[in-house]
């Protein structure tokens, strides 16, 4: 996968929105649309089913260069060789962890992303040393119907204070994404607005285009200098 600071569009294979569709085909469409990170989120699935879905989608993501993220299950993410594992506040802090390195201690272990819903949670999460933060839900969302929207104010707060990669998430669609970007977001997570779109790949392309147009080009990393032999 490309470095996180170069990732703009974070999408999902969420079993709540599959409606009988093949996860592998959804993965292909997300990759064709330019997704940088793709999370497998299967809240009500057994571990064996998650393994089966992961086995089907991982080769597709690897070929496309998209990062593979597993939701919630860190042990499984490690077993599968995922790039990242996304955890909620309760999955991390309430489980007794205070530093991401307590889980991702080895170089080959999946890095950790953490959900945050308020500035105080973000500050606590930053101190834990994760690879990225999720900032949201910005708007009301069906993926978390009981969660109170954090509004664009939290996005503006994050834009001014969070220095690691962070992604605005929650209820983002093509009708409101421009105001999320105007509030300072440079990376977005999109779930239902893509998975419910008639053309998933095209929806991804449009979100990617909006994000890319709102940002300066990402500088290419310089190749290491070659030393001339004497």
Which residue in 82, 43, 90, 87 sits closest to 62, CA to CA? 82
| pTM of model > 0.85 | yes
pLDDT band at 229, cuts 50/70/90? Answer: very low
Mapping DSSP to helix (H, G, I), strand (E, B) and coil, where does residue 113 land? strand
Task: Give residue-wise pLDDT tens across range 2-45.
Answer: 999 999 999 999 999 999 999 999 999 999 999 999 999 999 89
User: Taking 60 as the threshold, does the pLDDT of residue 199 lie above it?
Assistant: yes
Lowest mean pLDDT among 130-134, 177-181, 225-229: 225-229
Query: pLDDT at position 149, please?
Result: 92
Are the beta carbons of 127 and 107 closer than 8 angstroms?
no
> Region 209-215: what's the mean pLDDT?
90
> Region 180-186: what's the mean pLDDT?
98
> 46 or 221: whose pLDDT is higher?
46
Which residue in 87, 184, 183 sits closest to 131, CA to CA? 87
Domains of the chain: 4-214 (3.20.20.70)
Q: What is the DSSP letter of 132?
A: E
Task: Give residue-wise pLDDT tens across range 48-73.
Answer: 999 999 999 999 999 999 999 999 99
């Amino acid at each position: 996968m490309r470095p996180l600071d170069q990732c703009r569009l974070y999408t999902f294979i969420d079993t709540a929105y599959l409606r009988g569709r093949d996860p592998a085909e959804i993965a292909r469409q997300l990759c064709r649309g330019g997704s940088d990170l793709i999370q497998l989120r299967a809240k009500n699935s057994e571990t064996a089913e998650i393994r089966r879905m992961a086995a089907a989608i991982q080769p597709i993501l690897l070929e496309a260069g998209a990062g593979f993220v597993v939701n919630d299950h860190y042990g499984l993410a490690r077993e599968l060789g995922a790039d990242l594992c996304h955890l909620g506040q309760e999955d991390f802090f309430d489980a007794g962890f205070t530093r991401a390195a307590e889980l991702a201690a080895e170089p080959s272990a999946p890095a950790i992303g953490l959900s945050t819903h308020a500035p105080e949670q973000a500050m606590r999460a930053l101190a834990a040393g994760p690879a990225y933060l999720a900032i949201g839900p910005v708007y009301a969302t069906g993926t978390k119907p009981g969660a109170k929207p954090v509004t664009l104010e939290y996005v503006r707060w994050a834009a001014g204070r969070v220095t690691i990669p962070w992604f605005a998430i929650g209820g983002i669609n093509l009708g409101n994404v421009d105001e999320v970007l105007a509030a300072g977001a440079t990376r977005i997570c999109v779930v239902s607005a893509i998975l419910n779109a008639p053309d998933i790949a095209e929806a991804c392309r449009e979100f990617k285009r909006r994000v890319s147009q709102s940002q300066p080009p990402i500088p290419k990393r310089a190749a290491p200098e070659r030393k001339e032999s004497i």
